[in-house]
């Protein structure tokens, strides 16, 4: 535990240093910081504490695009709100490769300064998506507290740690209490299958087929051709798993669709289908979880 706390304390210092990109080197893994965010926790689960670099949203996507980091971890979808605010940033990248997905069932902790009691809290800080995910508990248990949006769970915990009064709290992973001088007042808030976030790991090389894979495709079509385009997937024996509509940023009657299908882009019916439909953009093929 002491080693874990030390490593995460270093991560916190890097997040506060003002120049985390100075440590973004080949082999490093960027995540949405500062330390103590859910994406930080996802990276700890996937990769351990080494080689993690906390970055702001803009820094993360710029560092990945420029090759300053080897991988980036991004929350893509949630069971509570669907597409996250970061999904569009991923599909806007001119050259991206999704190499893994990581779904995690979340259970939030309410973090505050030592000595703070729940009755003392007048304001809570959290990411807007987090507020949606804890809303049933919050409305039942703390309906009168003020809700203040934060860029991430790490930023929320950081704000509470810096507060000069003991009347603030944040929602996020319990790891925030290992990084900042905070304690957890309640754990496991809204934990369950209804509260799952899925991260994408962006890398460089497409993983080899495993026999149980998923492929994420970007399909840009007009409203008039959407039905016929989707019908072609079924006709080719390609099973669609999920579809997320995103704005085309061009016209009202054109959209971009994140279409996730069963199979690997280099194998079987999907490979043949993609060979015939070069207009479809492959964002990545990766083991299905």
Residues in the chain, total = 289
pLDDT band at 3 (very low <50, low <70, confident <90, very high): very low
Considering the chain, what percentage of its residues have pLDDT values greater than 90? Answer: 87
- 76: nearest Cα among 242, 230, 270, 251: 242
Report whether 37 contacts 153 (CB < 8 A). yes
Model pLDDT, residue 25: 55
State the CATH architecture for 213-287: 2-Layer Sandwich (3.30)
Domain ranges of the chain: 29-105+196-202, 109-187, 213-287
Average pLDDT value over all residues in the chain = 91
What CA–CA distances, in Å, run from 91 to 144, 184, 200, 285, 286? 39, 36, 12, 14, 16
CATH, domain range 29-105+196-202: 3.40.190.10
Handedness of CA 155, 161, 163, 166 (dihedral sign): positive
| Crossing angle of the two packed helices 153-162 and 2-16, in degrees rounded to 10 | 90
- 114: nearest Cα among 148, 163, 150, 154: 163
The yes-or-no verdict on residue 2 having pLDDT over 90 is no
pTM here is 0.86
Model pLDDT, residue 47: 95
Tokens describing residue 119: 């009755």
For the chain, the first-to-last Cα distance in angstroms comes to: 29
**Residue 231: Cβ within 10 Å count:** 10
What CA–CA distances, in Å, run from 288 to 74, 103, 156, 215, 263? 17, 10, 32, 9, 9
Whether CATH 3.40.190.10 fits 109-187? yes
| Domains 29-105+196-202 and 109-187 equal at CATH topology level | yes
Tokens describing residue 255: 């959209």
The pLDDT tens digits of the residues spanning 78-119 come to 998 899 989 999 999 999 999 999 999 999 999 999 999 999
């Amino acid at each position: 535990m002491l080693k874990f706390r030390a490593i995460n304390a270093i991560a916190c210092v890097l997040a506060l240093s003002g120049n985390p990109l100075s440590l973004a080197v080949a082999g490093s893994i960027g995540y949405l910081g500062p330390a103590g965010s859910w994406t930080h926790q996802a990276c700890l689960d996937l990769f351990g504490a080494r080689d993690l670099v906390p970055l702001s949203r803009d820094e993360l996507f710029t560092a990945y695009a420029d090759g300053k980091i080897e991988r980036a971890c991004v929350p893509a979808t949630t069971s509570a709100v669907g597409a996250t605010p970061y999904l569009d940033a991923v599909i806007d990248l001119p050259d991206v490769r999704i190499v893994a997905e990581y779904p995690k069932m979340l259970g939030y902790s309410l973090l505050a300064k030592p000595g703070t009691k729940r009755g003392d809290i007048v304001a809570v800080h959290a990411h807007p998506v987090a507020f949606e995910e804890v809303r049933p508990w919050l409305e039942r248990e703390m309906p009168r507290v003020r809700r203040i949006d934060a860029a991430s769970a790490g930023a929320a915990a950081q704000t509470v740690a810096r507060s000069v009064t003991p009347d603030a709290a944040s929602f996020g992973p319990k790891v925030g209490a290992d990084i900042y001088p905070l304690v957890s007042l309640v754990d496991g808030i809204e934990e369950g299958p209804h509260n799952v976030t899925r991260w994408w790991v962006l890398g460089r090389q497409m993983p080899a087929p495993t026999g149980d894979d998923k492929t994420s495709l970007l399909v840009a079509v007009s409203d008039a051709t959407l039905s016929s385009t989707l019908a072609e997937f079924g006709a080719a024996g390609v099973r669609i798993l999920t579809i997320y509509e995103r704005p085309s940023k061009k016209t009202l009657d054109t959209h971009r669709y994140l279409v996730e299908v069963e199979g690997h882009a280099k194998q079987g019916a999907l490979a043949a289908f993609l060979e015939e439909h070069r207009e479809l953009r492959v964002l990545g093929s990766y083991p299905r979880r």
